[in-house]
Each structure stands twice: as structure tokens, then as C-alpha cells.
A and B are shown apart, each in its own frame.
Chain A
């Protein structure tokens, strides 16, 4: 299994350009997420999806769009790129979420990240 695969690994955009970050997982996970990580900071949730056809906003959704047409893929679209979107983007997936009182049930598996620079 490849786990969570993100492409591209690096990208430089000009202000106003658009692009799509690709994310695919082969673990048959229902839940998928997009996070961004700014320098010296923790990760912030952009969007998430609990299954094909279902998406919802996270903490910092402005300037982004997502779609989930299949279980495997969860692309993140940047429209009209701005310097504030310079960051490292991480995709993650997990099994269906459990609220049971046991540990290890809701582990997120992260991809290696996509470093985006907007100039």
C-alpha cells in the first residue's frame, strides 16, 4: 500500500493563478482531510470529507475548494492564489471515525506534503 500520496511536492505560483493539489489514498478510508502548515506553526484544517460526495469546511477554508467524487481522491483547488496561501499542505485520511472509549481508533495517516509558494 502506498498510503496517502500527494502531488505535486513543490509548486511556485504567481498571484492570481489557480491550481489543484492532488491527494489519493489506497487504504479504503472514508474520511479525508486537508491541512495547511505555516512556518513554525501547527496544522490547521482547511476542508474535510466523510465520504464520497460529502465535504465540509474546516477552520481556514477561504480561498480553497474541494470535491470528493471517489473514496480514493480528494483534490484541493486554489482559485486566485494569494501570497497568504504560501504554505505546506498536508492531506490525511482515516477510517470511519469512532467515538468509542478506546485508543488508536481514529489515527490519521498523513501524506508527505505539498510545498506551495505564491509570488
Chain B
């Protein structure tokens, strides 16, 4: 079946740097994408989402870019802080009812 995958399983950055986490998807019919942050021992927390009719969306210190031509999604975190250390998942919603397909996840480690 279709799946969502991540290019890099781990990413280490220094505090203050910008971080970029990538995600590839395989279904060109994908309509809606979400980034979640999961801290150790907690459930996933919504960060930002984007629909297929958009190329870019910005939130507070985060930006999601969608390149439909190459089926690529990225999450950019500006001025990364130690509190940003977590596992980041992209998720894809092909259907209705929130039946999300999650990628494997990228571990982001921010060093002070």
C-alpha cells in the first residue's frame, strides 16, 4: 500500500540553528499532511498541517513546505531550542475520518 517515509532517522543540531526534517510520500492523490512532535513518554502533539492546494505554510518558528512535483514534504524549525528535542512524524491523510498514515519518524536532538 501507499506509505509515508522519512529520509533521515536522526538529526543533531546546535541550539539556535535551523532544523530541516524531510518526508517523502508516494501517493500523488494525498490531500492533507500533518507534522506531529512526540516527546518521550507522551502522545504525538500537532505542530502544523498543510493541504495539497498549498506550497507553504508558516506557524510560530515552524514552516512546512510541500513539493507535489517530487512528492516531498519538509518541516523547518527556526532557532531550534533544546525543548524541540523529540521525534517528529509526518502523517498523510488519504481518506476521510482522520485515518492517518504515519512515517517512521525522525529523532531531533538539540545540543545546548
Question: Residues on A close to B: CB < 8 A?
Answer: 4, 31, 33, 40-45, 48, 50, 56, 58, 90, 92, 94, 97, 99, 101-104, 106-113
Contact = CB atoms under 8 A, between A and B. Distances in A.
Contact of B42 (A40, A94, A112): A112
Interface of B: 4, 32, 34, 41-46, 49-51, 53-54, 57, 89, 91, 93, 96-100, 102-105
Contacts, number: 70
Contact of B49 (A45, A97, A104): A104
18 contacts: A4-B43, A31-B97, A40-B104, A40-B105, A41-B105, A42-B104, A43-B102, A45-B100, A48-B97, A94-B98, A97-B98, A101-B53, A103-B54, A107-B34, A107-B49, A108-B98, A108-B100, A113-B41
Given A112-B43, A113-B42, A103 B98 contact: no
